[in-house]
Amino acid sequence: MKLKIGITGQDGFVGKHLYNTLGLFPDEFERVEYKRSFFEDEAELVEFVSKCDVIVHLAAMNRHNDPQIIYNTNIGLVKKLVGALEVSKSKAHVIFSSSSQEERDNLYGRSKKEGRELLLNWARESEGTFTGMVIPNVFGPFGNPYYNSFIATFSHQLCHNEKPKIEVDGSVKLIYVGELVESLMEEIRSGKGNDLLIVPYTEEHKVSEILSLLEKYKGQYFDLGIIPELKDSFELNLFNTFRCYMDVKNHFPVKFIKHTDPRGAFVEVIRLNIGGQVSFSTTVPGITRGNHYHTRKIERFAVIKGKALIQLRKIGTEEVLDFYLDGEEPAYVDMPIWYTHNIKNIGDEELYTNFWINEFYDPNDPDTYFENV
């Protein structure tokens, strides 16, 4: 039997990542569709709750000029959810996303702590299952600038040629959104519940240290196309976060500098301060390769001969980005994570393409998921 999982806040930063990750396991999970309007209609919310074996409550307000509105909104959402759980006599496993700000003297922290306690009381009185997760600062791709994380804000600013400003150069405890999703998945699969689960942070850095890395990515990758040195998984995750704030539609394809003389032509395909794997393919006219996506890998497609159409589509969206490349003007397109992509020979001759990816292929952990663009 598949576990039926509903995510309040499904369209939010963490919610989208969890929703998409659950979609990688179609034989194990069924995703119950959620809409924000459910919290405005008691009957719809009750119907949603009644369908779920697991409810991950992520819907919340993080920022507002009036802290009282944050408190009222977050407590109000929890009370409505508890009401729907009671009306439906639900025995669902409810997983609540709280914050490390619980112990701080602010209304946001109070709203998360009191919300967790309200759901814990529901579970004890109704014999339901509850997990209260206290989560550190989360960063990762597709977070909203000026809302979800200072990393999202800095990355957005650098990719739009703005100058980030550090307000307070404090030390910040962080977790990558992919690591948080792994913790959520563990709780979903265990089904045991945990009244107070302190999710450990995986990195701690000063704000200035992170900004320095992001500025390096701006100077090397954004401006020059150089793949920077990535010393560990944190830097890989930070780099992939930075990349998602680029205007993919208008940044690519990037044309190479083509050097010609009587002998022929020479093109430098990639400069990198990181290892990886380089491969080469020929593709006959009319054939399409790819139609898959990655969640962590960095990949570059460089067309050096023939005519190609490279297509990208962000998972969960409908817009398809078309990039036309011609070996007469060699160029490349880099694949953002969570974008399904393909390459098609649209010419009359063989297509020659160089591929670079930042890690060796591992058949036991390929990080390759098939979905048509």
Domains of the chain, residue spans: 3-135, 140-173+203-246, 248-370
pLDDT digits (tens, 9 = 90+) for 329-351: 999 999 999 999 999 999 999 99
φ, ψ for residue 96, nearest 5 deg:
-110, 130
User: Residue 88 and residue 82: Cα distance in Å, rounded?
Assistant: 10
Report the candidate in 96, 93, 17 with the shortest Cα–Cα distance to residue 57.
96
User: Residue 18 and residue 3: Cα distance in Å, rounded?
Assistant: 14
Query: What is the predicted pLDDT for the residue at 341?
Result: 98
Chain position carrying tokens 């393919």: 281
Q: Detail the DSSP E strand segments found in 100-189.
A: 129-135, 137-139, 171-176
CATH number for the domain formed by residue range(s) 3-135: 3.40.50.720
User: Residue 126 and residue 85: Cα distance in Å, rounded?
Assistant: 9
User: Residue 227 and residue 290: Cα distance in Å, rounded?
Assistant: 22
**Two structure tokens written together for 18:** 């969890």
Query: What is the predicted pLDDT for the residue at 308?
Result: 98
User: Residue 335 and residue 300: Cα distance in Å, rounded?
Assistant: 6
Chain position carrying tokens 């302190």: 198
CATH number for the domain formed by residue range(s) 248-370: 2.60.120.10
Strand order in the sheet with 194-198: 29-32, 3-8, 54-57, 93-99, 129-135, 194-198
Q: Letter for the amino acid at 320? A: V
Chain position carrying tokens 């993080």: 62
User: Residue 14 and residue 176: Cα distance in Å, rounded?
Assistant: 10
Is the entire prediction scored with pTM above 0.85? Answer: yes
Query: What is the predicted pLDDT for the residue at 103?
Result: 82
Query: What is the predicted pLDDT for the residue at 105?
Result: 79
Report the candidate in 293, 284, 291 with the shortest Cα–Cα distance to residue 338.
293
Are 17 and 58 in contact by the 8 Å Cβ rule? The answer is: no
**Two structure tokens written together for 234:** 């944190």
Query: What is the predicted pLDDT for the residue at 325?
Result: 98
Question: Could you check whether the bond before residue 253 is cis, i.e. omega within 30 degrees of 0?
Answer: yes
Query: What is the predicted pLDDT for the residue at 127?
Result: 86
Q: Over the chain (373 residues), what is each successive 10-residue block's mean pLDDT? A: 96 97 97 96 97 98 93 98 97 96 90 97 94 97 95 98 96 97 97 96 98 98 96 98 97 93 87 92 95 97 97 97 96 98 97 96 95 98
Are 322 and 311 in contact by the 8 Å Cβ rule? The answer is: yes
User: Residue 331 and residue 333: Cα distance in Å, rounded?
Assistant: 7
User: Please, which residues have CB within 8 angstroms of residue 198's CB and are 6 or more apart in sequence?
Assistant: 134
